Every structure is written in structure tokens, then in C-alpha cells.
Structure 1
């Protein structure tokens, strides 16, 4: 229920957005609603507070999105509001308008320090691209690499093994049977020495 801004309140309405202007037919998705409402509420709130800035009031921009039951019932308009949230998820009590002597829970807002103008309009920083380094010289690879090695990123070449040809084993020529050597070839047999023939008998002495 709207109240006078001089009375305690939780949020202050800064404008309204009609979704039918962008989405005349079916209910838009949540991301589509959020993008459209946020952009419209930001522009309306800036115009509502001018020449003040929203950040100097320490308030936060708040807006809802429409659900399917609300859309089906004919709702097309949402309100843009500004308020102060508490750490427990509740809302602070506002007194007076954000465009005047605003009090938040009985205290005037303490605006954050202004951002220097030079920081708002910083010159673009040139992008330093890394200087490409020359590629190292390619290493000379051996013309015939070892069988257990292969070139990088290549699969070793597998040479199909040819089955050995079937050959009948050559029959060895039979060795010629050498005749036994003649007796002359055998070592001489051991012979008993022949007895020495007796000498001639001596003549009998004369009688």
C-alpha cells in the first residue's frame, strides 16, 4: 500500500515497466524478463533521482519478475523500487524520500567515496602479444631407425613376417664305407725273439 515518503516505509518506487511493450504474446523466460526489466528500471531510477546518483543514497535497486499465474491473470507491469537490505534478509526502515533528507534506520546514509574521474575514463590498455620464438632446428633423424624405435607421433611400421618356405631337408650323402686297412697297415705284432742257433760242436779231444 503506497504511503507518504515522510512516513516510515521499506521501499520507494522509482518507476514501472510494462513487459507487454517488449513481449506482447507469451510469457518471456526468466532471463529475458530480468534483462529487460533491469535495463528499464536502471534508466528510470537514474532519471527519478537526478541529479543524485543511486550509489550515493546507499540504496539498492529492486524489481520483481512475473510468474505464469500472474501473466495468465493479465499482469504485465512490474514496479522498480529502491531500498536498503539488512544482513538477516529483511529491509531497513526508510524515512523521507531518497531525493531529500533520507534516513535509514534513523541514520543518514554515508555515501561511498567518489570514484576519480580519471578512473572512470581510463585509456585502453594495449594488449601485449607475446613475441613468437623461432622454432628450434629439427634434429637429424637416422635414415634407418632401430627396430625398437619409431618417430614421434607415429606408429612403428610392422613388417609382416613371411612364413619360412617348406623345404625337405637335404639328405646327407651316406659316408662311403672305407675298407679295413690291410694287415700291413696294422701295427706289427709282437714276435718272440727266435732262439739263437747253437754253434758248431767242439771236436772231442784225442785220446
Structure 2
């Protein structure tokens, strides 16, 4: 039996390398490739993919959101995050979104192929070191609104600019920023945003 795979990565070179490695496995077949997160669901449906290999950072929608969409609309299709980001916060968010596995891109080819087979069989597959870090780090302390505000702040936007973009009052944005700074143990909104991003909370 051949397992039908979809590859989603915004770097064509990476997609090509993954496709070539997977092509060496007699029971795995790449049936679709996309470079944007918002193309995953339609491509998975059209190709009858059984496992989606998803990068995290892609235009349109990230891999975590793509996994959420696939889990909701195609319950028979599994998602496996394959990314360079070994951040515990990303792992936690991906699993909460419905992903069946999370591995990093330097995983040996035979282990990646094994992860695909296990995910297809209904198992959950997670990089062991990352799983340990995730358990020790705990969940994100940030609220959804604090995350929204920090995403805007990461490029250095002022509270007034953030307020305009998110349709919030200036005072409300300042309160969210102050709370997020406290929770991340930093001293400025930019530091808070970068720390939250490094921990995979954004």
C-alpha cells in the first residue's frame, strides 16, 4: 500500500529535496506540492493526500493553521510538521491544532520516512528532545490579544500604530503590552515580542 503525501514549504529547493528523499521509499508517494499555507487544504482535498508534511513559516497561513484546517475538514488526513524551528511553544501549538507529529528538518531520512508511516497509522510522533523541552517549559502564558499585540510590536510599531491596526484604544494596547512584558520578564515591547517569538508563543 502506498501512502499519498502532500509537501508544503515555501522554499522550492527544500520541497524538491524532500520529494527526492521520499521518492526513494517504495511505499511513499508525493502527490501534491504547495508553497503557501493557504493552499494546503484545497491541494490535500484535490489530491486525496493521506499525510501532509508542513513547514511552519509560509505565506498565506502558517503550517500550524494549515494543520488546524486539515484536521477540521479532512479527518482522514494527518499532518506532520517538518520544520527548522525546534521551539517548544510551536510544538505545543501544533499538537493543539491537530497535527499528528512534529520533527525538525535535520531528522535523518529514514527516521522521517518512519515518522510518516507512524503518523499515517494513527500514532503521534514528536522529536524526543523537543517534547522534553515542551513539558519543562509549560504552556504559553500569553492571551490571544497579547499575542496579537506582540506580533505587531515585533517590527517596532508604536502603541498608537498597533492600536490603529487592531482597532483597539491606545490605553488598551498599552495595558496588553505591559502585561506581556511582565509575563516574558523583559523591559520593552520589542524585547517581549522577540522573547515570545523565540519561545514559539507567537
Structure number with greater Rg is 1
**TM-score (normalizing by structure 1):** 0.23
**TM-score (normalizing by structure 2):** 0.23
- Greater helix proportion: 2
